[in-house]
Chains A and B, each alone.
Chain A
């Protein structure tokens, strides 16, 4: 694929705008609060779009198209079964505690609700995860640009990291959030044309349906047995593993996304942020999953497009979206498509770095290294943490490039760590008897048992590292859902057992942190009706593609 002058113009225009945003917002940054929390003054429409944009990184844009090509419409369960209910739950039930407690981060809420060791465990795990996620995003960007544009690995890594560093260092979280919103529109408007062209080339929906097996065209119809669908997961595994544990674990507890709601201007806006965001979120499958279906249908139809193969002869599903863009876009629009891909990677990286610098400054540095520093001191630490986060991401990108299986390994570790977290929050917010010891040991043992479960099960040749094989999953996705479920159940059970054996906090210390001890909110803009509407729309989409 070769870029022409109009394509470079679009790319340069995008870089100029994101850098200009950083330079302009720099003048608004006076305090740590400005830099790391946007002074909690961001309008609702921006927090809502940033909320889904922070998640609209490489994994979402490239990965969901790949899953669409591999598994079909079932991939939409990540949205219509997983994300939507979780985002609504966050807005209605959990945001009052995050925002109302005035915690500056998710780990800080854990400190207020439980104790410092639970906060530290979560903060360190989250900080490491964000650095690796950011580095993997950078690695994937460089690899993609090398394949489709022939750019050198070093050029892509340092160009993307340099731009993200400049605008996050200068403008902090506000700059990252502003750019995320710009990136959201760019990704939607840059990728939507591929769906229109692809539908036209494939002969519309009926043409796609003719060229794909029936089990790729339904969300629920083939979920009675693991043998009936390409994902190899049954309805229970899907509902529990993805719909409950993984989705609620991510959307309700991952500071990367929750941070976007926590910087809203008031409690009402913070609650409505994830609920309003759930509307564009439920439409995203038409942008990010549909290209995968189209690519597979065109390949099966032996049209002039086909999915590329890996060196070992297997289909390279990850190239579904980039190869459609490269194949069908004319010069000009090609620049928009490439910029949209660049934006998705940079958005993911900036989101991780801005979450990292906040958690490092408040939950690691201020909590353990220097408790009584001045605001200027913490602002400096926040800025240095941003630089360190970017440099560490570059290091991680090279580490990932050097070890073929590192990416898979890290994704697995992330699932071990994230899986049990929602159990900790659920118990902490809704059962006042939960203790700090219970939360800490629940998290730790949930992670350990998830690792053990992975060590005794196998899927697609992976897992079983303990030398035992008590169950073979039909797909890696099914194994991931299983691991997450085990992590959640173990964390839940051990948290309860240890809590019952240890002394809880006084009730007056838990006011505003636990549901039963917190006065009900009197919000004139009650988001409950909006939440119900979103759930109904989600159900309708499930039924339409049943």
Chain B
């Protein structure tokens, strides 16, 4: 539980999943209104989410 309440894990999980949803939307749904923004924003969110998860995995509990 202590590990799961690490904010880096919470943020990392949220943005990784949000990034996946945006990338999935880009590849699965055809849209006319700036569809490439889902690709860019989804990519950035996924990278940011993974970065936070990496920080969580490497960091010590004092920074949680």
A residues contacting B by CB (< 8 A) are 4, 6, 9-10, 13-14, 17, 20-21, 24-25, 27-28, 43, 45-46, 178, 181-182, 185-186, 189, 193, 196-197, 328-333, 335-336
Rounded to whole Å, the gap between the CB of A365 and the closest CB of chain B is 29
The answer to whether B62 touches A193 (Cβ under 8 A) is no
Give every chain A residue within 8 A of B57 (Cβ-Cβ). Answer: none
The answer to whether B1 touches A336 (Cβ under 8 A) is no
**Contact for B26 among A27, A28, A332, CB less than 8 A:** A332
The answer to whether B21 touches A189 (Cβ under 8 A) is no
Given contacts A6-B21, A13-B21, contact A330 B14 (CB under 8 A): no
The answer to whether B11 touches A185 (Cβ under 8 A) is yes
Query: When each residue 5-39 of chain B gets 1 if its CB lies under 8 Å from chain A and 0 otherwise, what string results?
Result: 10100110111011001101110010101110110
Given contacts A14-B14, A43-B62, A328-B33, contact A181 B7 (CB under 8 A): yes
The answer to whether B21 touches A9 (Cβ under 8 A) is yes
Any A CB within 8 A of the CB of B45: yes
**Contact for A24 among B1, B21, B22, B29, CB less than 8 A:** B1
Given contacts A17-B13, A21-B10, A189-B45, contact A330 B38 (CB under 8 A): yes
Give every chain B residue within 8 A of A186 (Cβ-Cβ). Answer: 14
Any A CB within 8 A of the CB of B44: yes
**Contact for B38 among A17, A43, A333, CB less than 8 A:** A333
Of A6, A13, A329, chain B has the most CB atoms within 10 Å of the CB of A6
Rounded to whole Å, the gap between the CB of A49 and the closest CB of chain B is 9
Distance of A171 Cα from B18 Cα, bound (Å): 24
Given contacts A9-B21, A331-B31, contact A193 B63 (CB under 8 A): no
Give every chain B residue within 8 A of A45 (Cβ-Cβ). Answer: 63
Give every chain B residue within 8 A of A182 (Cβ-Cβ). Answer: 7, 10-11, 14
DSSP majority for the B interface? helix
Give every chain A residue within 8 A of B11 (Cβ-Cβ). Answer: 181-182, 185
Distance of A332 Cα from B46 Cα, bound (Å): 14
Give every chain B residue within 8 A of A20 (Cβ-Cβ). Answer: 10
Give every chain B residue within 8 A of A13 (Cβ-Cβ). Answer: 14, 17-18, 21
- Can you list 14 contacts pairing A with B, beta carbon distance less than 8 Å? A13-B17, A17-B10, A21-B5, A24-B1, A24-B4, A27-B1, A43-B62, A182-B7, A182-B10, A330-B34, A330-B35, A330-B37, A330-B38, A335-B21
Given contacts A6-B21, A6-B25, A13-B18, contact A333 B10 (CB under 8 A): no
Any A CB within 8 A of the CB of B54: no
Rounded to whole Å, the gap between the CB of B41 and the closest CB of chain A is 5
**Contact for A329 among B34, B40, B48, CB less than 8 A:** B34
Distance of A14 Cα from B10 Cα, bound (Å): 11
Given contacts A17-B13, A21-B10, A43-B64, contact A332 B42 (CB under 8 A): yes
Distance of A185 Cα from B13 Cα, bound (Å): 13
Distance of A217 Cα from B31 Cα, bound (Å): 35
Give every chain B residue within 8 A of A6 (Cβ-Cβ). Answer: 21-22, 24-25, 29
The answer to whether A193 touches B37 (Cβ under 8 A) is yes
The answer to whether A178 touches B7 (Cβ under 8 A) is yes
Closest residue of A by beta carbon distance from B24? A6
Distance of A80 Cα from B45 Cα, bound (Å): 28
Distance of A10 Cα from B16 Cα, bound (Å): 11
Distance of A17 Cα from B1 Cα, bound (Å): 15
Closest residue of B by beta carbon distance from A28? B5
The answer to whether A185 touches B15 (Cβ under 8 A) is yes
The answer to whether A25 touches B21 (Cβ under 8 A) is no
